[in-house]
């Protein structure tokens, strides 16, 4: 079984990608917040876990994530 993890394309300490990316059974994807809305929803539909930092100002006004 694999777990799909998604994070936004904002700056994050590179150790997050390093740690999560080397774990067996975890697929890490990075979503372009300003990319195609349909593509973003498709990515979210395949995601088990998503990471959003505590900074609310990084999420766009029309986010693909529930607030």
What do you get for the CA distance between the two ends of the chain, in Å? 29
Task: Name the DSSP letter for residue 25.
Answer: T
The model scores a pTM over 0.85 = no
Flag whether pLDDT at 9 surpasses 70: yes
Length of the chain: 67
- Phi and psi for 5 in degrees, rounded to 5? -110, 135
Q: Tell me, what's the pLDDT at 67? A: 47
Q: Tell me, what's the pLDDT at 28? A: 94
Flag whether pLDDT at 52 surpasses 90: no
Residue 28 and residue 53 in contact, taking contact as beta carbons nearer than 8 Å = no
Q: Tell me, what's the pLDDT at 50? A: 86
Please give the share of the chain, as a percent, with pLDDT higher than 90.
Answer: 45
């Amino acid at each position: 079984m694999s777990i799909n993890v998604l994070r936004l394309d904002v700056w994050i300490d590179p150790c997050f990608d390093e740690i999560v990316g080397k774990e067996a059974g975890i697929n890490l994807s990075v979503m372009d917040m300003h990319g195609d809305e349909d593509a973003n929803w498709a990515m979210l539909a395949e995601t088990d876990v998503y990471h959003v930092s505590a900074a609310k100002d990084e999420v766009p006004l029309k986010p693909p994530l529930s607030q």
